[in-house]
Amino acid sequence: MSVWNPDNIRDVAESVGIANLNNDVTENLARDVEYRIAQVLEEALKFMRHSKRTLLTTQDVALALRVLDVEPLYGYESSRPLRFGEASLGPGQPLFYVEDEEVDFEKLINAPLPKVPREISFTAHWLAVEGVQPSIPQNPTSTDSRNLELVSKGSNANPNLAAMSGNANVAVKPLVKHILSKELQLYFEKVCNAFLDESSEEYRTSGYSSLREDPGLHQLVPYFVQFISEKVTHSLKDIFALTQVMHMAEALIQNKSLYVDPYVASLVPPVLTCLIGRQLGGNADLAEQFALRDLAASLLGLIAKKYSHSSHTLKPRLARSCLKNFLDPAKPFGTHYGAIIGLHAIGGPDVVRELILPNLKLYEQLLRDGLSDDNPRKPEAEKVLVALLAVLSTLQDGRVHLANGHGAIVTDELRDRLSEKIGGLIAARIADAGEVQLAHAILGD
């Protein structure tokens, strides 16, 4: 005995032209319909439960039919209520049906076509990288944005951080709000004061160690870079301040936890200034000035080695700047000294062989004039000569040394060839020192 009414089976059979259906067939079909409906409802209830709902919807039934590989019923939506009509087939035999909406085909044909819906898509972009907003179409842009600084203005803003940009009185809001906690602001002030404290070397060492090793300084990187740039610009006559900000830049680069790649372009100019600047430290001792250039050269070599993988044009641009100053006779010997050791720091013996060695013979006359006894720039010229001999000596690195007793002195023929290659002055120094191995390395023998 089936719960499903067999009369419904007969009504459906008569609607398709089958009359006088056998009672046994009707009973079997009723039980099969009951089983199929229970199966559909069971699958629909699964969709309802997985959707965390307690109300069964027509969408659940449609999904259940699709899972059972049955064509779903069209025209039933959960978004609008169904209107049921009632018809009478006879006394006591009501029939309920869903009322269909009447559609005027003429209006439907003449109506404009609906817009094609856009496909669903998702895109992502960087709002800010290390506190700096990239110049991409997705981010808001403004012609005034390049003049904005990252430090927020206001009554609670740190005056030391705001003063770094030089326009602390301008009331503008940055496109990206960059807020530093009070702890980071205090740390920034303490570290900057430590590096510039002439009275306590221990205080400076502690600041250098902290900046080199502390991992949580990502937000402060742009401020330290700005501080270094400002100090170099306004303290060219203070050899102590220049030396300390170079140590600060060295600590930033050596900190393995910081991502300094986006700020290399801003960090290179102050380093180059301390390397090939005309006047460094005012009336400071000559040894201190050249020590600063040595420090800047080692720092420039560290930058070229560490960040050349992210910028393939970094090394060529640095080498071009140093070579331009080396070949400029109007520049002082201090600038030439920085350019020479800077070229060697950037590329090692290869750069010395390709850029310095071919220009030594032309540079010899300028160096001879500087080494004359009546020239006040003689101490600087001697420093340049020592630097040239030092970088030339790296050309023999990796070469097989001559056997004992063979070529112990520089012969006249070798001296003449060397003079033709690099000029008589430097050739004489190499010959007097008995650097036979170096002479052959320079000549490419």
Q: Give pLDDT tens digits for 364-393.
A: 888 888 888 888 888 899 999 999 999 998
Residue 302 has pLDDT above 90, yes or no: yes
Q: For position 171, what pLDDT does the model report?
A: 47
Q: DSSP secondary-structure letter at 374?
A: T
Asked if pLDDT for residue 159 goes beyond 70, the answer is no
Residues whose CB is less than 8 angstroms from the CB of residue 282 and which lie 6 or more positions away in sequence, other chains included = 236, 237, 238, 239
For the ranges 176-180, 360-364, 387-391, the lowest mean pLDDT is seen at 176-180
Residue 51: the pLDDT is 92
Pairwise pLDDT comparison (346 vs 134), residue with the higher score: 346
Tell me the DSSP string of 359-370: GHHHHHHHHHHH
Do residues 149 and 165 touch, judged by C-beta distance below 8 A?
yes
- pLDDT-derived band at 242 (thresholds 50, 70, 90) equals very high
| Alpha-carbon span 245 to 195, nearest angstrom | 7
Q: How far apart are CA 24 and CA 351, in angstroms?
A: 102
Q: How far is Cα 149 from Cα 144, in angstroms, rounded to an integer?
A: 11
For the chain, give the percent of residues with pLDDT over 90. 28
List the single range of 50-59, 141-150, 216-225, 337-346 with lowest mean pLDDT: 141-150
CA proximity to 239, closest of 293, 299, 301, 298: 293
Question: What was the pLDDT predicted at 408?
Answer: 55
C-alpha to C-alpha distance for 377 and 329, rounded to whole angstroms = 14
Q: What number of H helices and E strands is found in the chain?
A: 19, 2
Residue 293 has pLDDT above 90, yes or no: yes
pLDDT confidence band for 164 (50 / 70 / 90)? very low
Instruction: Place 144 in a pLDDT band, splitting at 50, 70 and 90.
Output: very low
Q: Which residue has the higher pLDDT, 94 or 241?
A: 241
pLDDT on residue 20: 82
CB atoms within 10 A of CB 406: 7
CB atoms within 10 A of CB 268: 20
Q: Helices 264-276 and 239-254 sit at what angle, rounded to 10 degrees?
A: 140
The band of 82, judged by pLDDT with boundaries at 50, 70 and 90, is: low
User: What's at 261, amino acid-wise?
Assistant: D
317-350-319 Cα angle (round to 5): 15
* Residue 48: predicted pLDDT: 93
> DSSP assignment of 56-116, as one string?
--HHHHHHHHHHTT-PPPSS--SSS---EEEEESSTT-EEEEEPPPP--HHHHHHSPPPPP
Q: Is pLDDT above 90 for 339?
A: yes
Check pLDDT > 80 for residue 220.
Answer: yes
Tell me how far apart the alpha carbons of residues 143 and 166 are, in angstroms, rounded to a whole number.
19
Helices in 134-259 by DSSP H: which ranges?
Answer: 159-162, 182-195, 201-213, 221-234, 239-254
User: What does the mean pLDDT of the chain come to?
Assistant: 82
Which residues, at least 6 apart from 159, have a Cβ–Cβ distance to it below 8 Å?
A: 168
pLDDT of 231: 92
Average pLDDT over residues 21-38: 89
pLDDT band for position 170 (50/70/90)? very low
Q: Round to whole Å and give the CA distance between 64 and 205.
A: 73
- pTM, whole model, 2 decimals? 0.60
Contact in structure between 163 and 213 (CB atoms under 8 Å): no
Position 228 confidence tier, pLDDT thresholds 50, 70, 90: very high
Average pLDDT score over residue span 313-341 = 91
pLDDT band at 141 (very low <50, low <70, confident <90, very high): low
* Cα–Cα distances in angstroms (integers) from residue 291 to residues 13, 297, 391, in the given order: 106, 10, 16
Q: Which domains are delineated in the chain?
A: 1-80 (1.10.20.10), 183-379 (1.25.40.770)
pLDDT at 177 over 50: no
pLDDT confidence of residue 118: 79
